[in-house]
Amino acid sequence: QVQLVESGGGLVQPGGSLRLSCAASGFSLDYYNIGWFRQAPGKEREGISCISSSDSSTWYAESVKGRFTISRDNAKNTVYLQMNSLRPEDTAVYYCATPRMYSSTCNGVVSQYDYWGQGTQVTVSS
Is residue 109 within 8 Å of residue 35, measured between CB atoms?
A: no
Residue 101 has pLDDT above 90, yes or no: no
Query: What is the tens place of the pLDDT at every residue in 1-50?
Result: 899 999 999 999 999 999 999 999 998 888 899 999 999 999 999 999 99
Residue 104 has pLDDT above 90, yes or no: no
Question: Cα-Cα-Cα-Cα dihedral of 83, 98, 51, 49, to 10°?
Answer: -40
Helix ranges restricted to H, 1-126: none
Question: What is the predicted pLDDT for the residue at 98?
Answer: 96
Distance of CA 36 to the CA centre of its chain: 2
Question: What is the predicted pLDDT for the residue at 20?
Answer: 98
Burial label for 68, CB within 10 Å (0-12, 13-18, 19+), is buried
Query: What is the tens place of the pLDDT at every residue in 106-120?
Result: 999 999 999 999 999
Strand segments, DSSP code E, in 1-126 are 3-7, 10-12, 18-25, 34-39, 46-51, 58-60, 68-73, 78-83, 92-98, 115-116, 120-124
